[in-house]
Amino acid sequence: MFNALGNLLSRYTIPIIIVLKIGVLSYIFMGDKKWFWIGDKPASAQSKAEDTPEPAPADTSDKNDENKRKGFLDDLLNLPKIDSENLKKDEVGRYLTLLERKQSQVDNRIQVLKAREAQLKSLEASVDDKLKKLDEEMAFFQQTIQKEKQIQGDRLDKLLEFYQKMDPKKAAPIIEKLDKDLVVALFNRFPQKQTTLLLQFMTADKSVELTEYYGRIRSAKEYEMLKEINTTLRKEFQDCKGMPEKTP
């Protein structure tokens, strides 16, 4: 009987001492208020908690993701300490089960990362393929434009040679029926004297119309040319401003 009583005292002595210490500390820090409680808080604590509004949750999705990754790594690296001298059989089994679970987590994580890597590689290959096709289409488009310009240039050369050999009085009625852009292109290639003669032999309305259109086209081209020159000069000026000053 005395042995059983001694075992009980030795078993519950430490928890009783801890509870007594908590009670004394609670009395010292809280005065005549409640020491500590299990379950519902006292009315004063509840009212204080109700009066204090909880802060609104912030949008911290990136932070949450980072915390999840950190938590995963912490859980993965968190291994219990082993007392190799007093190791029991059931503890060995629990430890091996824990290692298997963590190994499974690592394997699953590796599979997820490999799947994401495969998706990224597939997406990269798709983008590269589309860019390659786009470059091919651009090259074909530029070649087509160049061929069209060459064909138009050849046709314009033939028309220019044809109308230069004609008498201006006979050529004027034919030229005034052509497309205005084609007429302007011919006027740009004709000598100034021949252009003047052709306009003289055209009808008054057509001569005025072509003259105004020709003037607008030339003004637009000159404007674009001046605009391009201005842009180039501005760029060179900015480049010069960014250069370090020369030292003697």
- Report the C-alpha gap between 68 and 62 in whole angstroms: 10
Tell me phi and psi for residue 218, to 5 degrees: -65, -40
The three-state (H, E, C) secondary structure of 22-86, written as one string: HHHHHHHHHCCCCCCCCCCCCHHHHHHHHHCCCCCCCCCHHHHHHHHHHHHHHHHHCCCCCCCCC
Lowest mean pLDDT, pick from 83-87, 158-162, 174-178: 83-87
Q: Is residue 57 part of a domain?
A: no
Same domain, 127 and 159: yes
Identify the residue with better confidence: 130 or 16: 130
- Report the C-alpha gap between 150 and 142 in whole angstroms: 12
Per-residue pLDDT of 22-52, as tens digits, reads 654 555 445 544 444 444 444 444 444 445 5
Q: Is residue 4 part of a domain?
A: yes
Q: Is residue 59 part of a domain?
A: no
**Structure token pair of residue 2:** 């005395």
Q: Is residue 80 part of a domain?
A: no
Single residue among 139, 165, 191 that ends a domain in this structure: 165
Do residues 45 and 33 lie in contact, with contact meaning Cβ atoms separated by under 8 Å?
A: no
Q: Is residue 74 part of a domain?
A: no
Given a cut of 60, is residue 71 above it in pLDDT? yes
CA triple 35-40-44, angle to 5 deg = 60
Same domain, 122 and 175: no
pLDDT of residue 93: 74
Q: Is residue 70 part of a domain?
A: no
Do residues 201 and 172 lie in contact, with contact meaning Cβ atoms separated by under 8 Å?
A: yes
| Residue 213: Cβ within 10 Å count | 15
Same domain, 137 and 104: yes
Single residue among 165, 190, 211 that ends a domain in this structure: 165
**Structure token pair of residue 68:** 């999840």
Identify the residue with better confidence: 27 or 140: 140
- Report the C-alpha gap between 67 and 73 in whole angstroms: 10
Same domain, 176 and 147: no
Q: Is residue 55 part of a domain?
A: no
Mean pLDDT throughout 101-112?
85
Give how many domains the chain has, as a whole number: 3
Per-residue pLDDT of 184-211, as tens digits, reads 888 888 888 888 888 888 888 888 888 8
- Report the C-alpha gap between 222 and 202 in whole angstroms: 27
Mean pLDDT throughout 240-246?
52
Per-residue pLDDT of 153-168, as tens digits, reads 888 888 888 888 888 8
Mean pLDDT throughout 230-246?
60
What does 103-125 look like in DSSP terms, one character per residue? HHHHHHHHHHHHHHHHHHHHHHH
For 127, the domain range is 93-165
pLDDT of residue 39: 42
With a threshold of 0.85, does the pTM exceed it? no
